[in-house]
Chains A and B, each alone.
Chain A
């Protein structure tokens, strides 16, 4: 299960014999030997000047993982933190390079890159991990947990032997890490409430082992070889990707259902950049398909050119979003004078409003007919994949891609309505399901090439998604430029999308500024454009220093409102009128410093 062969991508530049030999050799070696060998081989490749494409893991992720001891702690009472801090102090005294991280602040995926970890964790209630440790605990115990063959670790388990599940969380971590292929620096120590002596002995042994270990492994962090050839996936030839996370990220009392959905890309070679969109092939809501068959008095199993009507309505044709073309064709099919009247030249505006308010089912209900199945299907457009702004950086989530999806559900004309794609992801997709996806490049929505340039991001609602990717990327690349995020939604308690991410970035200083507008937190509705105007002087100063502006989200209301606000900000900053502001913004746009991804 943990053989290297299973991780080697299909496009392997090795002969079978070579692979077998390498596999056997790898199995026979201890982790230290493996590490040394990987460095040796990498050096050999460099020395021979071979044309092997450099492994495409980013530079930044390597620099962070210089061999050091990571002290991870998680406890409810502060004892864990204290012990971790003591260990860090002793490490410094003994010249062991170490860093100390609260598990709550630790990105679980980082553990793949660790060489040596000292883990201090307590146990609560009936053998439960403390709050701070939960995320890491769940990640390691999930199917997504990575192989950790290069990790060396040791666990200090804190507990209270009056509980039945004494030190259970520490035991779980210890056993799970071993299962994942990691090696023990030395054995776990379980501490009761009088932990001082045991903890001290553990710390001593940990540092002795870490010293030997880290000293010996000066060569490390050679990333695993990736497929050199990046596969090309398109709408026509999408990638079958497994959904590995489908998490509602609005609160229990929210009026919205927004999902964070992650797909597994491992082994696919699918590449993307922050700013790109993910195309997702979706199906229509089954209840809506049934409704069509019902309203049109058609049998769902009727064969249309070799495929059942239900399948066509479900997977091939657009049956939610109405269009002029549909109205034209259906008016003819149904012989509806009412619809035909809407198609008259002088009814253009009426038609636009009519279509905007209705899904196809509403039009069919209002203008019923009993058509031939094949002829009805001819009225419809093919079902297109839906595009979602990618909410992750490939530098942070190497084998994953995330999108942010607001489930569209509403009542109209006395009936429930659904967005086809959003509810497909929110309601009809479980973790483990496989969907077809591809990357839709968005070269007009890119981070500045100059990492020192400041970035102003305006993304209310799910418009914030690409900015999560931007910030992850800026973080991973160590970009020195300032970052300012404007976010807005309805209610701060329920709708603060990715709140914990922003909090972490603010704490670390990555987010220089963040301003939020929650329209329903107070009597007067406040929006992001209001916050822009409130901070006019500072915003203009950023622009003068060369900041790039990005806007993502709603095209009909938000983007024009934000545009107006930016004009006000610039006019005030220039001390000139609107024309000058428009010129200024135009110049920014031409220079690629005002980019929008609105829909």
Chain B
């Protein structure tokens, strides 16, 4: 950085924050506003808390001379998405008591609460803590919730990989006492005392950092979208080690070609016991070389593209006792979940439930929140949140499976009637709570899927799974650039349509139509799906078909996202 651009303002906030304390404690007791101080809104993220407001009410309240209806989103850190039934019950109660009568499963295997008001924030945080989970580093410029393969039935090394994910989550967790101090009335830092963040240092990372583990052939965590990915290499049913991937990331900004989504690059292979060291080497390289002047150029992917993959591998190797070995061959087949019952090698059963866009609440049609509460009250098995915003109840005996089946029947939790498209679709939260949303997402996606399902039925391909994802803005929470049909919000009712990603998450899509409304989305898809139905090769996926037929020009390398599609 020879040209000495000024640091971004968030860097100042972090520097002055006394290890993430800022003025949060003062903000919480300020009765004149439902908000926290502006600087604190940056720091609260490190504690897993986003300030939001009800955007449906924003204009109305401005006229009423009232401040926005502020509330807070709280995101828990749940490595690999594992929760005990008791933890589920605790979260269910928190959702009903302090949040908007729901819990939201995220695309990173965590749970979010929306609509928590400031004066109940601390109580809510203490309730989460009492469940033996926390929210530290669920957001912010740190390593966030570590993802791991969801379904235990699919691999003999599942437990070993989950253990590695949990270990890494602990290893990269910030050490600051601010969390205890602000939320749990923990002891105050001695005046003049300086805490040490051995990995992050005083100003943490330049930007958020996402890590995921995966076991091929399932690519449920979308490993190519992660800043740091570990791809399990299995030999003779044993975990031989991991391919190491770096520099994936989804976020971009409309109209700013210098920002782009990027697939992670494979830089080598490491043994299972080297995972934490490798991760630390990657994280500290990003800490030292990431761009702290421009938040839109600060993710690891830009650091790598600025310096080159080879340079980056050298940096990582320099920080390791043993350099990375050459990567092994791996094969991915798909990114989605496998619904219904599956049996693990130890004979235990798990059931994957379809949760539309991860939203668990009771509605007039279905008492979904009550259903899961009732399941959790049985005290059986373990709850696993999936990267596709679904829930698995795992580790059941035959008898427990029968008990669960009765409840599945009673509450209509089966996924048989869920279409192939709907089962493979995800959407981010969007309006009304997300401050970044430009268009509807979670509230609209179900309706759009119904329309597209009608097109698929018309063309006789209703049973072909197509990965469809929607986000209300270009930041990519639902990984829309890895969807065969990607919809990215531009304005209320208007989306960019992106097409041609691989079904297994190895190829991004490309912009096909910009800023179009529902009618145009459906007309465009109708024509393409018609072609697909007529000319599809055996078992060919929609994204692959569009590439093969040249509708989407495949440009190869991941760093050419903005090259025109056709």
Q: B32 at interface (Cβ–Cβ under 8 A)?
A: yes
**Pairwise interchain contact A500-B66, C-beta atoms closer than 8 A:** yes
Q: A501 at interface (Cβ–Cβ under 8 A)?
A: yes
Q: A3 at interface (Cβ–Cβ under 8 A)?
A: no
**Pairwise interchain contact B31-A492, C-beta atoms closer than 8 A:** yes
Q: A93 at interface (Cβ–Cβ under 8 A)?
A: no
Chain B binder among A338-346, A419-427, A514-522, A583-591: A514-522
**Pairwise interchain contact B490-A492, C-beta atoms closer than 8 A:** no
**Pairwise interchain contact B255-A162, C-beta atoms closer than 8 A:** yes
With A493-B117, A522-B119 in contact, is A160–B64 under 8 Å at CB? no
Q: A442 at interface (Cβ–Cβ under 8 A)?
A: no
Residue in B65, B119, B254, B438 whose CB lies within 8 Å of A499: B65
With A249-B65, A251-B66, A496-B66 in contact, is A162–B58 under 8 Å at CB? no
A496 to chain B, nearest CB (A): 6
Q: Which of B50-108 contact A (CB under 8 A)?
A: 57-67, 69
Q: A369 at interface (Cβ–Cβ under 8 A)?
A: no
Residue from B65, B69, B119 having most chain A Cβ neighbours under 10 A: B65
The CA of A192 and the CA of B491, in the complex, are separated in Å by: 17
With A125-B491, A163-B515, A514-B32 in contact, is A252–B57 under 8 Å at CB? yes
The CA of A134 and the CA of B63, in the complex, are separated in Å by: 10
The CA of A563 and the CA of B61, in the complex, are separated in Å by: 34
**Pairwise interchain contact B515-A162, C-beta atoms closer than 8 A:** yes
In the complex formed, the residue of B with least CB distance to A501 is B65
**Pairwise interchain contact A126-B491, C-beta atoms closer than 8 A:** yes
With A160-B255, A493-B34 in contact, is A500–B67 under 8 Å at CB? yes
Residues of A contacting B195 with CB < 8 Å?
A: none
A135 to chain B, nearest CB (A): 7
**Pairwise interchain contact B67-A193, C-beta atoms closer than 8 A:** no
Residues of A contacting B66 with CB < 8 Å?
A: 249-251, 493-494, 496, 499-500
B interface secondary structure, majority: loop
A139 to chain B, nearest CB (A): 12
B95 to chain A, nearest CB (A): 20
Q: B514 at interface (Cβ–Cβ under 8 A)?
A: yes
In the complex formed, the residue of A with least CB distance to B438 is A125
Q: A113 at interface (Cβ–Cβ under 8 A)?
A: no
A417 to chain B, nearest CB (A): 25
The CA of A496 and the CA of B515, in the complex, are separated in Å by: 39
B121 to chain A, nearest CB (A): 14
Q: Mark A184-211, 1 if CB is under 8 A from B, else 0.
A: 0000000011000000000000000000
Residues of B contacting A250 with CB < 8 Å?
A: 64, 66
Residue from A492, A503, A506 having most chain B Cβ neighbours under 10 A: A492
Q: B256 at interface (Cβ–Cβ under 8 A)?
A: yes
Residues of B contacting A492 with CB < 8 Å?
A: 31, 34
Q: A217 at interface (Cβ–Cβ under 8 A)?
A: no
**Pairwise interchain contact A252-B60, C-beta atoms closer than 8 A:** yes
In the complex formed, the residue of B with least CB distance to A487 is B32
Residues of A contacting B491 with CB < 8 Å?
A: 124-126, 163
The CA of A73 and the CA of B352, in the complex, are separated in Å by: 51
The CA of A45 and the CA of B64, in the complex, are separated in Å by: 45
Residues of A contacting B57 with CB < 8 Å?
A: 251-252
**Pairwise interchain contact A193-B64, C-beta atoms closer than 8 A:** no
Residue from B62, B490, B492 having most chain A Cβ neighbours under 10 A: B62
With A126-B492, A131-B58, A162-B255 in contact, is A503–B64 under 8 Å at CB? no
Q: B25 at interface (Cβ–Cβ under 8 A)?
A: no
Q: B293 at interface (Cβ–Cβ under 8 A)?
A: no
The CA of A192 and the CA of B254, in the complex, are separated in Å by: 12
In the complex formed, the residue of A with least CB distance to B31 is A516
Q: Which of A135-179 contact B (CB under 8 A)?
A: 135, 160, 162-164
The CA of A164 and the CA of B119, in the complex, are separated in Å by: 43
Q: B33 at interface (Cβ–Cβ under 8 A)?
A: yes
**Pairwise interchain contact A134-B62, C-beta atoms closer than 8 A:** yes
Residues of B contacting A135 with CB < 8 Å?
A: 62
Residues of B contacting A164 with CB < 8 Å?
A: 515
**Pairwise interchain contact B254-A506, C-beta atoms closer than 8 A:** no
**Pairwise interchain contact A160-B438, C-beta atoms closer than 8 A:** no
Q: A40 at interface (Cβ–Cβ under 8 A)?
A: no
**Pairwise interchain contact A251-B254, C-beta atoms closer than 8 A:** no
The CA of A212 and the CA of B436, in the complex, are separated in Å by: 42
The CA of A500 and the CA of B35, in the complex, are separated in Å by: 13
Residues of A contacting B67 with CB < 8 Å?
A: 496, 499-500, 503
B185 to chain A, nearest CB (A): 18
B487 to chain A, nearest CB (A): 16
The CA of A126 and the CA of B490, in the complex, are separated in Å by: 10
Residues of B contacting A522 with CB < 8 Å?
A: 119
Residue from B254, B255, B490, B514 having most chain A Cβ neighbours under 10 A: B255
Residues of A contacting B62 with CB < 8 Å?
A: 131, 134-135, 500
B401 to chain A, nearest CB (A): 44
Residues of B contacting A514 with CB < 8 Å?
A: 32
The CA of A134 and the CA of B58, in the complex, are separated in Å by: 11
Q: A502 at interface (Cβ–Cβ under 8 A)?
A: yes
Residues of B contacting A502 with CB < 8 Å?
A: 32
Residue in B32, B69, B255, B514 whose CB lies within 8 Å of A516: B32
**Pairwise interchain contact B34-A162, C-beta atoms closer than 8 A:** no
Residues of A contacting B69 with CB < 8 Å?
A: 251, 493
Q: A248 at interface (Cβ–Cβ under 8 A)?
A: yes
The CA of A126 and the CA of B515, in the complex, are separated in Å by: 11
In the complex formed, the residue of A with least CB distance to B493 is A126
Residue from B32, B119, B494 having most chain A Cβ neighbours under 10 A: B32
Residue in B32, B63, B494 whose CB lies within 8 Å of A506: B32
**Pairwise interchain contact A248-B64, C-beta atoms closer than 8 A:** yes
B202 to chain A, nearest CB (A): 25
The CA of A164 and the CA of B515, in the complex, are separated in Å by: 9
Q: A474 at interface (Cβ–Cβ under 8 A)?
A: no
The CA of A246 and the CA of B304, in the complex, are separated in Å by: 57
In the complex formed, the residue of B with least CB distance to A517 is B31
The CA of A502 and the CA of B67, in the complex, are separated in Å by: 10
With A163-B491, A251-B61, A516-B32 in contact, is A521–B438 under 8 Å at CB? no
Residues of A contacting B63 with CB < 8 Å?
A: 247
Sample 27 A-B pairs with CB under 8 A, ordered by A number.
A125-B491, A125-B492, A131-B62, A160-B254, A160-B255, A162-B255, A162-B490, A193-B254, A248-B64, A249-B64, A249-B66, A250-B64, A252-B60, A260-B65, A492-B34, A493-B34, A493-B66, A496-B67, A497-B65, A499-B32, A499-B33, A499-B65, A499-B66, A500-B67, A503-B33, A506-B32, A516-B31
User: Residues of B with Cβ closer than 8 Å to A?
Assistant: 31-34, 57-67, 69, 117, 119, 254-256, 438, 490-492, 494, 514-515
Q: Which A-B residue pairs are the 8 nearest by beta carbons? A: A193-B255, A125-B491, A500-B65, A160-B255, A249-B64, A499-B66, A516-B31, A249-B65
- Starting from the known contacts A514-B32, A521-B119, 16 additional A-B residue pairs (CB-CB under 8 Å) come to A124-B491, A125-B438, A131-B58, A134-B62, A160-B255, A162-B514, A163-B490, A248-B64, A249-B66, A251-B69, A493-B66, A493-B69, A494-B66, A499-B65, A500-B65, A501-B65
